[in-house]
Amino acid sequence: EKQRSLLLESASRFPIPPGVRFSYGTAGFRSDGLILGSTVFRAGVLAALRSIKTGQAIGLMITASHNPIFDNGVKIADPDGGMMTQKWEPFADALANAPDSQHLLDLVVQFAERENIPLSGTQSAEILLGRDTRPTGEPLLEAAKQGINSIIGAVAVDMGILTTPQLHWMVRSRNKGSKASEFDYYAQLSKSFRCLIDLIPENIVKNEGDPKVLVDGANGVGGEKLEELKKMLKGLDIEVRNSGKKGVLNDGVGADYVQKEKVAPLGFGSDDVGLRCASLDGDADRLVYFRVLSASNNIIDLIDGDKILSLFAVFIKEQLGILCRKENGDVLNSLPARLGIVQTAYANGASTDYLKQIGLEVVFTPTGVKYLHKKAAEYDIGIYFEANGHGTIIFSEEFLSLLDARCNELSVSSAGSEHHKAALRLLAISQLINQAVGDALSGLLLVEAVLSNMGWSTERWSQLYVDLPSRQLKVKVADRNAVVTANAETQVVKPPGLQKLIDAETAKYPRGRCFIRPSGTEDIIRVYAEASTQEAADHLAHSVMQLVD
Ligand code: 16G
Ligand code: ZN
């Protein structure tokens, strides 16, 4: 009874805006930050229920990632630090759109009954809150707190301004019983980075002349945090630009801008030609690299998520190779490791060819971290990346304990041997990379550490393969759900007949590849085309766009 009146009363303080429909899409709820109060309040309620249900800490992050500064959004992290289970998404939608407090209460009561969630207040719940640097972040944080507090027994813990991956990391660590503060995050990253740097083979010349990395912080939270992390790092020279002191968040800066427009962000110019540069997105869960080739024409060599993935894959494969090889005639039992690569249809065809050609297993999923992550978790070591720069590496618990045991064994039998070092490197990677979700900061450190270990210049890395020219377009449509796809978004199944037309068009171009899909974040259909020349890719994309219209 107390619970009912509490929820009714709190919810009435956050009426829903008229005429808007909220949907828990690929990246949670997103819209203009000023109309999100009710949505974030309700997300707080949802997070509290999820925490009671799982008996563990849950995360709630307020961000709109790479979207403009006045947008905002909210998403929920499950106990393992991953995205909230898809099974709860329909409930999230229903909650967000309940017309008034009474309907909201009814939904909560019904759902709690169905899911066996006790609302008596006897169960405790803990929700870690994070937000990025947006101006609407603070009022929305308050809405989230009130939503959480409207469920008896639930406690909100404000972790402050964070990158999205930091919050996911904290949730994961908290539930594993490890230390989970922001300091602990920095400590883990800097320690494992140092470990990889100490393992650089003796015959390697350091970074072939470009020891420094210039980082575009998208005028968001990532730049700020990188400045802090930097203080704890030895052996890496980082210069942070666009750290948010002057420019506008995501405005002409950031990983999304650089990757989609294939240009340098503001603040990078002729002095930077040829240098190693990286760009984070607004909440620092995406990372791309680039080199400025010509400042006057703003031409860059983009090193996207596919190439970051390829770099990681090559390095990990090499370490596994060392571990499985016989040393001095000794027979070592090979370490059983299934290495899997997960991509989406947006992956450049040249990257997929390259990865397969070096003997790796490559699989595809639909767009969206939740799909990629889940697939990658099927392997001992799963590496996933979207071309846009979101990705990470996940290690299975079984493999990690085998690896740990092997490290201990080797430190007795052959400390300092190549085998020992390879095992230590893999272990350090598992510590450095954020296994909850893609993380630009930890990704950046891993790229830097791997380049140093391989003795590769940025150029050498970039030349792993040559990207096929591609073009992305968007088409505004009345109802994006009219398009339904299958086979990891590569085939249109609805409207019928459309795929045949796309196939016929694509067949006209050497190395042509084209697909369309409804966006999960905007009311549009996206078109992607790839071909042997830029003109052909542009042409193919435009022709297919006309088929959609
Ligand atoms: C979201 C996804 C990202 C995906 C993008 C696609 C997460 C955390 N983020 O930003 O992975 O690439 O949506 O957007 O899942 P689209 O559906 O509009 O093309
Ligand atoms: Zn992001």
pLDDT in tens, 260-292: 999 999 999 999 999 999 999 999 999 999 999
Residue 393: which of 457, 320, 325, 323 has the closest Cα?
320
Span 223-242, mean pLDDT? Answer: 95
Q: What is the CATH number of the domain that holds 149?
A: 3.40.120.10
Q: Is 107 exposed, middle or buried (0-12, 13-18, 19+ CB in 10 A)?
A: middle
Is the domain of 297 the same as that of 423? no
- Residue 406 tokens, joined: 């092997």
DSSP class of 248: -
**pLDDT greater than 70 at residue 414:** yes
Q: Given a cut of 80, is residue 37 above it in pLDDT?
A: yes
Assigned domain for 167 exists: no
In terms of domains, do 238 and 105 share one?
no
What pTM does this model have?
0.96
Residues 389 and 369 in one domain: yes
Structural domain contains residue 190 = no
**Tally of domains within the chain:** 4
Q: Is 173 a catalytic residue?
A: no
38-67 burial, b if ≥16 CB within 10 A, otherwise e?
A: bbbbbbbbbbbbbbbbbebbbbbbbbbbbb
Q: In the prediction, which pLDDT does 4 show?
A: 94
- 15-29, pLDDT tens digit by residue? 999 999 999 988 899
What is the CB neighbour count within 10 angstroms for residue 541? Answer: 21
Q: Does 150 reside within a domain?
A: yes
Residue nearest to atom 8 of ligand 1 (CA): 27
Instruction: Give the domain range for residue 132.
Output: 2-161
Q: Within this chain, do residues 340 and 356 fall inside the same structural domain, yes or no?
A: yes
- Regarding whether 28 and 46 lie in a shared domain, the answer is yes
Would 498 be classed as within a structural domain? Answer: yes
pLDDT surpasses 90 at 167? yes
Q: Is residue 419 part of a domain?
A: yes
Judgement on whether residues 293 and 261 belong to the same structural domain of the protein: yes
When pLDDT is cut at 50, 70 and 90, the band that residue 218 belongs to is very high
Active-site hit among 38, 51, 65, 452: 65
**Reported confidence tier of residue 531, pLDDT bands at 50, 70, 90:** very high
Domain boundary among 141, 161, 181: 161
pLDDT of the residue at 488: 97
Tell me the average pLDDT across 486-490: 97
Q: Among 462, 483, 508, identify where a domain stops.
A: 462
β-pairing, 339-343 with 299-303?
unpaired
Does the beta carbon of 520 lie inside 6 Å of ligand 1? yes
Q: Which ligand is in closest contact with the Cα of 221?
A: 2
pLDDT over 90 (residue 325): no
Ligand 1 in reach of 390 Cβ (< 6 A) = yes
Nearest ligand for residue 30 CA: 1
Residue 189 resides in a domain: no
In the chain, the N- to C-terminal Cα span, in Å, equals 54
Indicate whether 332 pLDDT > 90.
no
Q: Are residues 318 and 412 in the same domain?
A: yes
Mutate to test the pocket of ligand 1, among 369, 372, 519, 526 (most ligand atoms within 8 A of CB): 369
- Tokens representing 246 are 């002057």
Q: Per the domain annotation, does 181 fall within a domain?
A: no
Residue 549's pLDDT band (cuts 50, 70, 90) = confident
Cα dist. 107→47, 112, 115, 310 in Å? Answer: 15, 8, 12, 46
Pocket test for ligand 1, best of 390, 515, 527 (most atoms within 8 A of CB): 390
Distances (CA, A) of 197 to 107, 116, 233, 355, 455: 53, 50, 11, 26, 11
What pLDDT is recorded for position 330? 58
- Calpha distance 326→285 (Å, rounded): 39
Alpha carbons 492 and 398: distance in angstroms, whole number: 39
CB count in 10 Å sphere of residue 120: 9
**Average pLDDT in the 525-538 region?**
97
pLDDT-derived band at 361 (thresholds 50, 70, 90) equals: very high
Phi, psi dihedrals of residue 392, rounded to the nearest 5°: -160, -175
CB atoms within 10 A of CB 35: 15
Band of the pLDDT at 527, cuts 50, 70, 90? very high
ipTM, two decimals, is 0.98
442-466: per-residue pLDDT in tens?
999 999 999 999 999 999 999 999 9
Q: How far is the CA of 505 from the centre of ligand 2 (A)?
A: 34
> Which one, of 517, 442, 477, 479, lies nearest residue 169 by Cα?
442
Would you say the CB of residue 369 lies under 6 angstroms from ligand 1? yes
Check whether 328 has a pLDDT greater than 90. no
Q: What is the pLDDT of residue 206?
A: 63
The residue ranges of DSSP E strands in 326-438, in sequence order, are: 339-343, 361-364, 381-385, 391-395
Give the residue ranges of the annotated binding site for substrate: 386-388, 517-521, 526
- Verify whether ligand 1 is closer than 6 Å to residue 367 (CB atom): yes
Contacts of 532 (CB under 8 A, 6+ apart): 468, 469, 509, 510, 511
Find the range with the poorest average confidence among 204-208, 268-272, 313-317: 204-208
CATH code (residue 372): 3.40.120
Average pLDDT over all residues of the chain: 95
pLDDT at 74: 98
Min mean pLDDT across 121-135, 175-189, 197-211 is at: 197-211
Which range among 182-196, 207-221, 365-379, 381-395 shows the weakest confidence by mean pLDDT? 207-221
Q: Is 472 in the pocket of ligand 1 (CB under 6 A)?
A: no
Residue corresponding to tokens 């002191």: 245
State the pLDDT at residue 182: 97
Instruction: List residues forming the annotated binding site.
Output: 65, 281, 283, 285, 386-388, 517-521, 526
Residues 139 and 41 reside in one and the same domain = yes
Q: Same structural domain for residues 277 and 355?
A: no
Lowest mean pLDDT among 326-335, 404-413, 531-540: 326-335
Mean pLDDT within 234-257? 95
Are 12 and 146 part of one and the same domain? yes
Beta bridge partners, 338, equal none
Ligand 1, atom 9: nearest CA belongs to which residue?
27
Q: What pLDDT sits at residue 26?
A: 82
> DSSP of 5-63, one letter per residue?
HHHHHHHHTSPPPTT-----BBTBEEEEGGG-HHHHHHHHHHHHHHHHHHTS-EEEEE-
Are residues 232 and 281 part of one domain?
Answer: yes
Cα(527) to centroid(ligand 1), Å: 15
Q: Is residue 172 part of a domain?
A: no
Q: Does residue 63 contact residue 45 with C-beta atoms inside 8 Å?
A: no
Q: Is 519 in the pocket of ligand 1 (CB under 6 A)?
A: yes
Over residues 489-504, the pLDDT tens digits come to: 999 999 999 999 999 9
| 3-state class (DSSP) for residue 156 | strand
Residue the block writes with tokens 């009426």: 15
Please tell me whether residues 154 and 6 are part of one structural domain. Answer: yes
Domain closes at, from 429, 462, 495: 462
What are the DSSP calls for 314-347, one per residue? HHHHHHHHHHHS-BTTB--PPP---EEEEE-TTS
Query: The CATH number of the domain where 492 resides is what?
Result: 3.30.310.50
- Provide mean pLDDT across the span 528-548: 97
pLDDT at 520: 87
Question: Does any ligand 1 atom lie closer than 6 A to the CB of residue 348?
Answer: no
Higher pLDDT among residues 1 and 396, named by residue = 396
Does the structure show a pLDDT above 90 at 245? no
CB 243 within 8 A of CB 224: yes
Flag whether pLDDT at 335 surpasses 80. Answer: no
Place 314 in a pLDDT band, splitting at 50, 70 and 90.
very high
- Residue 63 scores a pLDDT above 80: yes
Residue 326 has pLDDT above 70, yes or no: no
